[in-house]
Structure 1
């Protein structure tokens, strides 16, 4: 059974797609405000404690950070191709590219878990046993854990939605090529990638320039 593309209260597909896109842009704006505020706070404290923040930044694993950057960039490509395939009603290619997108997302989380394990082993978690003594170093890793943790949560949500979307397309309950759902999902996924593009230089490259 094919999924119905048009849903109440919309009278045509174009208005439905515009409404979906507008709603997603409103949501993305709130996310940008949140992460923008975090980036601004990080920049302010970096000016207040430059030596400690830079010393802490040199402890981040630039190799794993770079690998994860490449993984997320690849996931953006596969998501864009999935959206294009859906427009052309190519079901097989749509499912394949969405599956690759979810796989890249899971790969990112696995690499990040290895990095977190390394950070914990090296006592880079803020607290009484924190390894670095420079003023501001704990503050850096406070930002690091909060911002990368929230980013990982957003990515996990995206992966779950992508997997549900694959399931719905396979069973025919989602009119993937006409409803405007996939473009909205793509916007969310690309936002998660863009946030990481800002986090990577902020947390990994700043002390190594």
Structure 2
């Protein structure tokens, strides 16, 4: 009787329930994101090590306190908060695009992909303005015009790390926008509809969510501490 019970019991790896039963392309995307996470992690750990080993560091409330068309408005972190909201909102529209893909709703995928692309472009525009504004203040690689909390002159470590890490992240956002545009064109042309699957939208979504998640850590490290 025990043998019959064992024989009739479905094994955990049967019926598509295995955790290793993942589509190849999606698995490769996860591998890529893991390796990319190690790169960002190395950057941020290096930044944190230098940051907390230093006796002085610029106050982010004084560095990031401007708004477009308002000059030195003294609005600490307001602009970067808007940037963050835009990127998170684009992640929400990406989730909705993936959901519409699962429902095989071509029109819904198109609408939400357009919204996601617009969000990414707006974020890049905001970052470009911030870089330009800081450059006008004299900040760049090898140049740091901002004083420490205690009024002493700070080193160039702050600007070197800031432009390198935010630039690296910005490159990822730009890459994500390009990928999403390609996915949108393929959707409009009915490529996924003919395939009967919108799995590629889901893969692009994984990358986009990763970019959004990384920004949360970048935001925390540079703008809050």
Residue of structure 2 in register with 1:117 after alignment: 132
2:178 to 160, 166, 180: 160
Considering only CA atoms, is the larger Rg found in Structure 1 or Structure 2? 2
How far is the alpha carbon of 1:200 from its aligned partner?
0.6
CA displacement 1:59-89 (0-9 Å, x = unmatched) = 1342221111000110010000000001001
Distance in 2 of aligned mates of 1:173 and 1:179: 9
Higher relative contact order (CA 8 A, sep 6+): 1
CA contact (8 A) 1:55 1:137 kept: no
How far is the alpha carbon of 1:19 from its aligned partner?
1.1
TM-score of the two chains, using structure 2 as the length reference: 0.78
2:87 to 68, 72, 75: 72
SS of corresponding position for 1:174: helix
CA contact (8 A) 2:60 2:224 kept: no
Q: Structure 1 residues 190, 50: CA separation in 2 closer, same or farther (over 3 Å shift)?
A: farther
Distance in 2 of aligned mates of 1:31 and 1:135: 34
1:40 to 41, 45, 49: 45
Residue of structure 2 in register with 1:92 after alignment: 107
2:223 paired with 1:204: yes
Please list every run of 5 or more consecutive structure 1 residues that lacks an aligned counterpart in the other structure. 1-14
TM-score of the two chains, using structure 1 as the length reference: 0.84
Residue of structure 1 in register with 2:212 after alignment: 193
CA displacement 1:139-182 (0-9 Å, x = unmatched) = 01111000110111111111011111111111122347625211
RMSD: 2.1
Q: Structure 1 residues 104, 19: CA separation in 2 closer, same or farther (over 3 Å shift)?
A: same
Please list every run of 5 or more consecutive structure 2 residues that lacks an aligned counterpart in the other structure. 1-19, 66-76
2:64 to 51, 60, 64: 60
How far is the alpha carbon of 1:54 from its aligned partner?
3.7
Residue of structure 2 in register with 1:4 after alignment: none
Residue of structure 2 in register with 1:18 after alignment: 23
Residue of structure 2 in register with 1:12 after alignment: none
Distance in 2 of aligned mates of 1:70 and 1:198: 14
How far is the alpha carbon of 1:132 from its aligned partner?
3.3
Q: Which has the higher helix share?
A: 1
Distance in 2 of aligned mates of 1:56 and 1:78: 30
